[in-house]
Amino acid sequence: MTHSYLRARLSYLMFVQYFIWACWYVSMGTYLVKTLHFDGAQVGLAYGAFAIAAMISPFLTGLLADRYFASEKIIGVLGILGAVVLCVLPSLKTFSSFYPALILYCLLYVPTLALGNALSLHHLKNPKKDFPRVKLFSAVGFVAGLIGLNFLNGAESSIQFYLAGAGSLVLGLYAFFLPHTPPMKQGKDVSVGEILGLDALALLKRPSFAVFMASMFFLCIPLYFYFVNLGIYLTELKWENMLAKTSLAQVSDVIFFLLLPWFLHRLGYKKTILLGIACWVARYLLLATSAQSPGWQEAWIFAAILLHGACYDFLFIAGQLYVDETAGPRMRGAAQGLIAFVTWGAGSFLGTLLAGQVLAANVLVTPSVIGLSHDWQAIWQVPALCSLAVMAFFFTFFKEAHSGRASS
């Protein structure tokens, strides 16, 4: 198998994974509020289902992928089961039935993300150079999912879950044809902690790694305000073709994916990640300004959307590469599971809950002059200030080894 063909296969894996995610994650808040009439706190809890799964998935990754089963087979089984659950969700109309089913689906989906990353990093010859090129197809898949759902006019409809279910079935079947990725610790003398992936916790003894993980955790709390609330905000503004317009974020994502290796080589991990955090601060300030600037409102919102590439790539993709470089081959799966636990799990859970509570606390008694039902300036100011505090913490305490530049 040529390396180009390998990259193409892994790129399609990323495409399908993020196509599924895009089909429901951005628009779910609008569906829950406008169609099922859930309140802000329930919307926050619903988005927290993803976080609950992310807190559990590292143990599944450590137990199954690192010890017992090939990664591609786990992805295949989880993809097929996930398709079944997604197709059941549209029939569930109450929060008490929808919420546990959504948690079940997320428990099936979230492990495939960490496993996909670990599988790709395992097979690529030069992960620092090749992984961003493979990962950029996650952005292409996300765009495809948003545009497809927008074409079907499904932002407020349950069709989003059927579309995601079809994608999940494709993922499950395709995964069985991925390069074989055997358990790294099979047949070896390993402890219970290693089997559960807890050996990655030893990395926290390194001060800079601990600072990095703490920063990722605290930043993910304000970060999820964007994912929970943006769709609701744009719906209140009565944006037409909302999903197609927000897909510009993934166009930005592709551009910054391609630029990431250059930034890492020139700036190193610390400055690149700092730049990513600064973009989150700017994004929320732009959204807060847009709520009180009718004349420039669309311009500020589009600017916030177009910052997505730098916000995501300079933080999450650079972070995954930093973790991979720090952990080494033996702990790769467990370490990727650890960062998933911190970012998509614990930080996301608190962030989605807080985003829902802040949304509920800022309902306007009387709609604003432009028809808004919430005080969006106050809502967006909260994550802006939190992100600024994390930026100061990371700048002060993170110390990068060697020359401060990532290796080529």
pLDDT in tens, 228-261: 899 889 988 888 888 888 888 888 988 888 888 8
- Domain count for the chain: 1
Residue bearing tokens 């040529």:
2
408 inside domain: no
Q: Which residues are 374's β-sheet partners?
A: 363
* 267's tokens: 């700036």
356 inside domain: yes
- What percent of the chain has a predicted confidence (pLDDT) above 90? 45
404 inside domain: no
The phi and psi torsions of 307 (rounded to 5 degrees) equal -75, -5
403 inside domain: no
Residue 369: give the domain boundaries.
Answer: 3-181+192-397
- What's the pLDDT band for 270 if we cut at 50, 70, 90? very high
pLDDT, greater one: 167 or 27 = 167
- What's the pLDDT band for 76 if we cut at 50, 70, 90? very high
Q: What is this structure's pTM?
A: 0.77
Residue 160 has pLDDT above 50, yes or no: yes
Which CATH number belongs to the domain containing residue 34 in this structure? 1.20.1250.20
By mean pLDDT, which of 92-96, 265-269, 338-342, 397-401 is the weakest?
338-342
43 inside domain: yes
Provide the strand spans (E) within 82-187: none
Average pLDDT on 180-200 reads: 63
405 inside domain: no
By mean pLDDT, which of 133-137, 174-178, 212-216, 313-317 is the weakest?
133-137
406 inside domain: no
49 inside domain: yes
Average pLDDT on 343-357 reads: 88
Residue bearing tokens 């600072």:
211
Cα separation, 90 vs 207, in Å, equals 46
